[in-house]
Structure 1
Amino acid sequence: MAADRVVNAIEVTDLTMTYGDLRAVDGVGLSVAEGEFVGILGPNGAGKTTLLEMIEGLRKPDSGSASVLGLPVWPRNAALLPRIGVQLQASSFFERLTAREQIHTFAALYGVARAHADEWLERVGLAEKAGARVEDLSGGQAQRLSIACALVHDPEVVFLDEPTAALDPQARRNLWDLLSGINDAGRTVVLTTHYMDEAEALADRVAIMDHGQILVFDTPAALVQRLDAPTRITLADGEVITTREPTVEIARLAELGRLDGVQVQTGTLEDVFLDLTGREYRA
């Protein structure tokens, strides 16, 4: 029997975008399987947003190609629009419309019933703000409305550019649950984020970008394991032990009766990120 064919939702080959002397995206290749949740991490100016805009068909690459659901994204492909959902880093709404009118407008573009659009306001916690004009919403509320508008037509592939940047911790966790549910239902999700815990909690695989290139692309666990970072053991009295043999060290502490209040921290995705991109501030 022939092996099942692996279908990729996104295929990117040698994408490049330059602005003068700056290579914002430098020969990036990327494959994302159907139903996969991928996180893209990187410092400011790493090229994350530019890469996403080219994959979405919003920006013409200088070279290379991208396809989504087997269809080329450029020239702008009208056949793809009902099948993808896009939440941009900067929200843009029709002026003087209420939140309900806003999402109803988006729903109408896709032939989606108003009742279904109202359900999305409920799902992102904006039912009580349905009658408020978009200019009167807080930054976090506007962000949630933008996400609801991107998802109102139940797209097959979802692109989210820093979706939780303006959200409070509770709204952020609620959005995690929402995105996990969408992904569990078979949707492909690609998001950029600055939050390492977000990428670890949500993404099947993580791409770390810097200077327009993808440096690594793997599962969070594999990236941490590859780093081979030492384990930090913090004792109740504040003493910190750094070791590459945590099992041996914990056994020793048990023999000494010093396990109460012990905290053990292995390497994290943040350690991987800093190891690859450095610790200097980026403008």
Structure 2
Amino acid sequence: MSGAPGRTVTEDVSRRLLDSASQLSYDPATEVDWDAPLPEDGHGLAPEWSTLYGTRLWDEMTERQRVTLTRHEVCSIMSTGIWFEMILQQLVLRDQYVRDYATAEFQFALTEIADECRHSIMFARACEKMGVPAYFPKRLVVELARILKTAGTAEVAYGGILVAEEVLDIMQRDAMRTDGVLDLVRTTSRIHVVEESRHMRFARAEIRQRVRRAGPLRKHTSALGIAVVAYFIITSLVNEEVYAEAGLDKERALAAARSNRHHHTMMRSGSAPLMDFLGTQGLLTRPASAIYQRVHML
């Protein structure tokens, strides 16, 4: 499949995404009502996405604890989003370094970086508004991520980007539709979903273009690399300290979350389109699949 003469499919996709961005983009500084008070009973997540929903511990919790937990969970997810968006920006900048500035691919890549800067500020302000401190991945993960942002290239870089965006997308779509979730979260989710849909299309186009030139060994290596990135993203989404903030016994809560079949099912369902795409690109090998199964994406 090819685009117009002399243009790649990625170039055609990028041109359409640039047109979309010019017509439908948001400024969180004005789109979000930052001064509106937060209702005490407003959840941070659609409750079904809480790591404890469906467990015996959830049934024992007060509604106040559930609200507190979902607010800390969503802020942990937002904090992880900021962390990975900073990595994403470096990956894209390195990939586009000294590219043809006249191409739509280069121009959309910079548009994406500008979007990510606004999203990170939006998430930071949302957490501040909810009175929740920044949560960070474990120190080992932070240091290992330095390798990715320094050396990640081609389909591994865009595969990691796609994993992070796809997982957040399904959670935020549910938040947008769920009564009882804070308007603050519903609005920031709507902005992120609309703009990240373009980023995901761009990442998919880049992956298709890169793997088309890849041999079996490179595909096998890249599949494993993307799966490892996915493992660290998924295991970093909800910081273990959120349970203590909700007044829960941390060890008991961690055990309940790790064995929560409802949440595992939600993750597999939400990850299905991503797994299907990776499979069509030859990036869902047996070793990679084993890693996805460990974090319940398969």
For the aligned pair, the TM-score class normalised by the smaller chain equals: under 0.3
Q: TM-score with structure 2 length normalisation?
A: 0.25
| Higher relative contact order structure (alpha carbons within 8 Å, sequence separation ≥ 6) | 2
TM-score with structure 1 setting the length:
0.26
